[in-house]
Structure 1
């Protein structure tokens, strides 16, 4: 990663932390290590994007719960202390979802820093169903510049 890329990701992550100061965050590296440790309780992974984005590709095992779903409590069937990871394209929508989950009483909620775009930029796997794919949905033209 070049200096400009590092700067833009650092600025983006700082902005999201500033806007959502009470949200816990997890790095892509920390999540990859967690997922590879089958002896550790695995998190519930929630994709906060929309159906079209999710259908193109997502993290393995992720469930789609758009950040603006009116009644997310009906979609989540787990205890309040289950570890939950939220992600979207860059981390903003997933921070909103994480904040909503915390307000509902979930205690172990983490927003993925850099979300799917950063995960993908590190050549980590993304899936369409059970198949690894080599593309992700850019959301729109502006955000495609981050890929």
Structure 2
């Protein structure tokens, strides 16, 4: 069983790397931030805390999200809520694995909003690294797996039963 878990972990890592390459190819102008860098930004009281935008569905967001994240519809054309953000405040967009958020980050950049980053690996990577996620202001251990296929990138201990 241990060997199977180790092999599956390696497959998950390779799949994440492939997705990251695909996202980089599809959205070459979108800047990435990894989970460690975001965690450091959130802890640094000497710099403006980033505005976190969750680009998942309402159902996914309701299960859990990164603390202080605001949900934004990744398909929206109405970016007025974000346009008032100070130009020196970073904006970090995330979704399940990074594709929808990269698409939204590109749209924000094209709209003239600056200092935008896509969270590499999304909330799946964040949770897989054991970082805190929240539901209704309280820590939780589950993440919506998006669907049965993409959910395989999320460690089983973080799965909710919703798909």
TM-score (structure 1 length as normaliser): 0.94
Aligned mates of 1:5, 1:142 — CA distance in 2: 12
Instruction: Count matched residues.
Output: 146
Max Rg structure: 2
Q: What RMSD, in angstroms, separates the aligned Cα atoms of the two structures? A: 1.3
Corresponding residue for residue 126 of structure 1: 133
Q: Does the aligned pair in 2 maintain the 1:28–1:112 contact within 8 Å?
A: yes
Structure of greater relative contact order (alpha carbons < 8 Å, 6+ residues apart): 1
Where structure 2 has 5 or more consecutive residues not aligned to the other structure, the ranges are 1-5, 155-163
Corresponding residue for residue 109 of structure 1: 116
Q: Does the aligned pair in 2 maintain the 1:82–1:106 contact within 8 Å?
A: no
Aligned mates of 1:69, 1:16 — CA distance in 2: 20
Matches for 1:26-65 after TM superposition, within 5 Å: 26-65=33-72
TM-score (structure 2 length as normaliser): 0.85
Ranges of 4+ aligned residues in structure 1 off by more than 6 Å: none
SS at match of 2:53: strand
